[in-house]
C-alpha cells in the first residue's frame, strides 16, 4: 500500500505539471499567432522569443511530464493490487477514455507547436483560446471521475464547467462591446 501511495503522489505531481504545460503552451500559441500580425521589427523579435519559450516549455516541462505521469500511472495500475482493482471498475474505463483523448489533444498541440516553429500560422488566436478549453474540460471530467468514482456523475461537473465557460465568454464579449463603445 505504501508503494501505491508513492506512485499515486508522483503520478499526480506529473499530471499537474503536464496540464500546466498544456494550458501555458496554448496561451503561448495565441501570442505567437498574434505576433505574426505585428509590424517589423516587433514581429521578428516576438516570434523569436516565443519560439524559444514554447520550445523550452514543450520539451523541458510538458513532454517529460506527460511521459512520467504515464509511467507512474501504468506502474500503479499494472503492478499494485489497488491498481488491478481499479481496472475492473467502469469509472476507470471512462477515465482511461478521457486519458486517450488527452493524448490526442497533446498530439494535436505538438502538431501546432511544430507548425508555429516553422512560421506556419494555420489557426486564429480566437481558435486557440477555444482550443485551450479542451484541456480544461478533460481535466474536470477526470477529476470528477476519480473523486466520485462513478461512470455517470462526472457529467454534471463537465456540464458545469461548460456552462461556466459559456458565461465567461459571453461576459468577455459584453465587456469588449462596452470597451469599443467607450472608444467612440
pLDDT tens for 97-137 read: 999 999 999 999 999 999 999 999 999 998 998 899 889 88
Task: Calculate Rg over the CA atoms of the chain.
Answer: 19
Residues 6+ apart with CB under 8 A from 37: 43
| Number of Cα atoms under 13 Å in the Cβ half of residue 69 | 19
DSSP structure class, residue 39: P
**Cα separation of 127 and 106, whole Å?**
16
Q: What percent of the chain has pLDDT over 90?
A: 59
Which is higher by pLDDT, 73 or 171? 73
Q: Give the pLDDT score at 158.
A: 78
Are the C-beta atoms of 57 and 26 separated by less than 8 Å?
Answer: no
Asked if the model's pLDDT at residue 1 lies above 80, the reply is no
Q: What percent of the chain has pLDDT over 70?
A: 100
Asked if the model's pLDDT at residue 90 lies above 90, the reply is no
pTM, entire model: 0.85
Amino acid at each position: 500500500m505504501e508503494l501505491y501511495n508513492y506512485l499515486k503522489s508522483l503520478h499526480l505531481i506529473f499530471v499537474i505539471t503536464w496540464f500546466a504545460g498544456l494550458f501555458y503552451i496554448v496561451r503561448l500559441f495565441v501570442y505567437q499567432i498574434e505576433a505574426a500580425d505585428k509590424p517589423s521589427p516587433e514581429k521578428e523579435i516576438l516570434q523569436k522569443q516565443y519560439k524559444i519559450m514554447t520550445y523550452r516549455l514543450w520539451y523541458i516541462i510538458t513532454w517529460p511530464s506527460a511521459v512520467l505521469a504515464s509511467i507512474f500511472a501504468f506502474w500503479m495500475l499494472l503492478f499494485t493490487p489497488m491498481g488491478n482493482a481499479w481496472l475492473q471498475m467502469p469509472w476507470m474505463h471512462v477515465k482511461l477514455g478521457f486519458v486517450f483523448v488527452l493524448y490526442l489533444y497533446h498530439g494535436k498541440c505538438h502538431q501546432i507547436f511544430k507548425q508555429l516553429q516553422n512560421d506556419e500560422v494555420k489557426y486564429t488566436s480566437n481558435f486557440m483560446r477555444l482550443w485551450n478549453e479542451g484541456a480544461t474540460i478533460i481535466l474536470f471530467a477526470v477529476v470528477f471521475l476519480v473523486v466520485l468514482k462513478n461512470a455517470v456523475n462526472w457529467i454534471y461537473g463537465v456540464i458545469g464547467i461548460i456552462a461556466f465557460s459559456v458565461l465567461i465568454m459571453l461576459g468577455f464579449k459584453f465587456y469588449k462591446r462596452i470597451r469599443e463603445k467607450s472608444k467612440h
